[in-house]
Amino acid sequence: MKNLVVLSGAGVSAESGIATFRDAGGLWEGHDVMEVASPEGYATHPALVLDFYNKRRAQLLEVKPNEAHFCIAELERSYRVQVITQNVDDLHERAGSTNVIHLHGELKKARSSKNENEIQECPGDINLGDLSKDGSQLRPHIVWFGEEVPAMDQAIQIVSKADVLLIVGTSMQVYPAAGLKDFAPSTTPIYFVDPAPSMESYGNLTVIKEKAGKGIPMVVDLLSFNNKNNSSIL
């Protein structure tokens, strides 16, 4: 089975009703992004930041995976699939994807404010006074702007071995995640699904100007067609 790597972003979860970072002039659910997604914002008003993520965590109980999530999970029938997502929700897992790396953390986990490797499950709220095992305040297990992306090296290794690369629901303009596609082998076919793509088709890159739910099935059809053609040639 070939290695199919999926790089997914907020556009995939948006179809389930989860707001994206960049909507409404850079606001996220009415807040300036840097106010709720930076170490400085957390240091200035920790209670507000904790409440913000408590509400995002509660929202996960109200939404479900959409067609895009299920279609990606279904690809595991034909490929060794590794999902590398910028999303902090668990919708890929709930749809059935079994190999998921969260570049920017996970809403349903919490971690120590002092040690980024001290991580625990977090099914409910985090409040001021809730402590990690090391005695520090628990904070959301989210990679904020200005923080290191711990899973980046692992993601690079995975992309470097991709036989097929599918990019969906992300503008590919936020680094370091945007640079991942450059680590794919030069012969690897890349499919980029986005309703407002930041690039055009060229060489081994195929751009599909659609939302995730419609575009991913189109990629599946293309992959099936290409595989049949290759089999006929052989």
69 a catalytic residue: no
Residues 6+ apart with CB under 8 A from 96: 70, 73, 74, 76
Residues 6+ apart with CB under 8 A from 201: 207
DSSP codes of every residue in the chain: --EEEEEE-HHHHHTTTPPPTTHHHHEETTEEHHHHSSHHHHHH-HHHHHHHHHHHHHHHTT----HHHHHHHHGGGTSEEEEEES--SSHHHHHT-S-EEETTEEEEEEEESS-TT-EEE-SS---TT-B-TTSSBEEEEE--TTS--TTHHHHHHHHTT-SEEEEES--S-STTGGGGGGGS-TT--EEEE-SS-SS--BTTEEEE-S-HHHHHHHHHHHHHHHHHHHHHH-
Which is the catalytic residue, given 92, 102, 104, 141?
Answer: 104
Q: Which residues are catalytic?
A: 104
